[in-house]
């Protein structure tokens, strides 16, 4: 378990623990861990667990699989960046909950028994340019007053809806390719959401409309659907042409290439901020005088 400092955890095999494979827990001390190029599998709980408001990590290029509960979980104000990992054959791919904030970018998330990504219990996530395919239930689930920006992902062939917002969740669904064989490709129930520039495509003749919107306030525009949206007891406001261009909101925890809050980091020698970080370059930086390539 990591509880403080800036450790580099690289090129390990972490397997067959009775509960969590790797814990990054910090409620009192700043913990800036780099977890990279590991194989993490066969653990009885989570592959990686991030816990506490000072738990801030870069989790990159790991293969995380066959963990009983979840591949990566972030809880209680933890704020990792989760980038370019392969998460497969876990119970759930990624869980962000209980006020955690996560950036989830360019991961392959497939063949998990249940949901690909869950954001719940007042958590916040930016979910960008991931591939979520053939998970057992929903591709991305957002509920219980959570907030998610879901942007430029490919979501296909999951066992239930590609995207499901419910329970007072809020967010943005923009510029995604969402497909499957189910009647309803995306569902929005009791939520507030912007839905724009997406392709909702059913691989079979759908029995229902591609998108279901119930008891929801929504901004909508420029979506492509195999059939239309079924709208029930909802307030739909069309977006203007000028409003069709969308950029991720400039949250502090998103702004540096590390994905960590700028005010929590020691000074960086070089720093490049990006509106979306999807195309932000990997760069050389120094933390506490130590050179690292993130």
**pLDDT score at 3:** 58
Is there a contact between 45 and 19 (Cβ–Cβ < 8 Å)?
Answer: yes
Predicted confidence (pLDDT) per residue in 154-165, tens digit: 999 999 999 999
- Residue 35 and residue 173: Cα distance in Å, rounded? 29
Q: Give the pair of three-digit tokens for residue 169.
A: 């969740």
* 3-state secondary structure at position 264: helix
**187 pLDDT above the threshold of 70:** yes
Q: Quick one: average pLDDT of 43-53?
A: 93
Is there a contact between 63 and 36 (Cβ–Cβ < 8 Å)?
Answer: no
**pLDDT score at 273:** 34
**pLDDT score at 203:** 73
Q: Quick one: average pLDDT of 169-184?
A: 91
Lowest mean pLDDT among 27-36, 113-122, 229-238, 281-290: 281-290
* 3-state secondary structure at position 188: strand
**74 pLDDT above the threshold of 60:** yes
What does 229-260 look like in DSSP terms, one character per residue? EEEES-EEEEPPTGGG-------GGGSSTT-S
**259 pLDDT above the threshold of 50:** no
Is there a contact between 221 and 244 (Cβ–Cβ < 8 Å)?
Answer: yes
Task: For residue 194, give every residue at least 6 positions away whose Cβ sits within 8 Å of its Cβ, in sequence order, or none.
Answer: 171, 172, 173, 174, 218, 219, 220, 239, 246
Is there a contact between 85 and 107 (Cβ–Cβ < 8 Å)?
Answer: yes
Output the average pLDDT for the chain.
Answer: 83
270: burial class by Cβ within 10 Å (0-12, 13-18, 19+)?
A: exposed
User: How far is CA 48 from its chain centroid?
Assistant: 15
**pLDDT score at 98:** 95
What phi and psi, each to the nearest 5 degrees, are found at residue 154?
-110, 120
**pLDDT score at 268:** 29
pLDDT band for position 243 (50/70/90)? confident
Is there a contact between 200 and 176 (Cβ–Cβ < 8 Å)?
Answer: no
Question: For a pLDDT cut of 70, what percent of the chain falls above it?
Answer: 81
pLDDT band for position 7 (50/70/90)? confident
**pLDDT score at 221:** 93
- Which has more pLDDT, 206 or 283? 206
Select from 164, 155, 113, 159 the least CA-distant residue to 133: 155
**In the chain, where the domains are located:** 1-104+257-294, 114-249
pLDDT band for position 192 (50/70/90)? very high
Predicted confidence (pLDDT) per residue in 54-72, tens digit: 888 899 999 999 999 999 9
**pLDDT score at 82:** 94
Is there a contact between 156 and 180 (Cβ–Cβ < 8 Å)?
Answer: yes
| C-alpha torsion 216→128→61→42, nearest 10 | 10
**pLDDT score at 50:** 92
Predicted confidence (pLDDT) per residue in 199-212, tens digit: 998 876 556 788 99
- Which has more pLDDT, 272 or 200? 200
Token pair 């104000």 is found at 77
**pLDDT score at 246:** 85
pLDDT band for position 108 (50/70/90)? very high
**151 pLDDT above the threshold of 90:** yes
């Amino acid at each position: 378990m990591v509880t403080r400092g800036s450790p580099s955890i690289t090129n390990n095999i972490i397997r067959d623990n009775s509960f969590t494979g790797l814990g990054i827990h910090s409620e009192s001390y700043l913990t800036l861990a780099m977890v990279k190029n590991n194989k993490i599998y066969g653990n009885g709980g989570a592959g990686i667990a991030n816990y506490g408001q000072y738990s801030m990590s870069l989790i990159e290029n790991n293969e995380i699989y066959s963990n009983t509960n979840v591949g990566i979980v972030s809880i209680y104000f933890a704020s990792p960046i989760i980038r370019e990992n392969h998460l497969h054959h876990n119970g759930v791919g990624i869980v962000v909950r209980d006020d955690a904030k996560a950036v989830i970018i360019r991961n392959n998330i497939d063949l998990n028994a249940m949901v690909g990504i869950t954001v719940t219990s007042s958590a916040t996530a930016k979910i960008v340019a991931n591939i979520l395919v053939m998970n057992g239930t929903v591709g991305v689930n957002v509920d219980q007053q959570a907030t998610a920006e879901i942007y430029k992902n490919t979501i296909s062939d999951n066992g239930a809806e590609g995207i499901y917002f419910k329970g007072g969740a809020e967010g943005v669904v923009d510029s995604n390719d969402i497909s499957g064989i189910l009647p309803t490709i995306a569902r929005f129930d009791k939520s507030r959401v912007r839905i724009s520039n997406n392709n909702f495509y059913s691989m079979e003749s759908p029995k229902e409309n591609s998108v279901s919107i119930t008891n929801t306030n929504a901004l909508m525009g420029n979506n492509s659907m195999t059939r239309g949206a079924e709208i029930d007891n909802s307030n739909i406001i069309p977006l203007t042409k000028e409003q069709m261009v969308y950029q991720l909101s400039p949250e502090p925890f998103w702004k540096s290439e590390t994905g960590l809050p700028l005010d929590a980091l020691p000074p960086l020698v070089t720093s490049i901020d990006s509106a979306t970080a999807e195309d932000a370059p990997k760069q050389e930086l120094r933390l506490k005088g130590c050179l690292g390539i993130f």
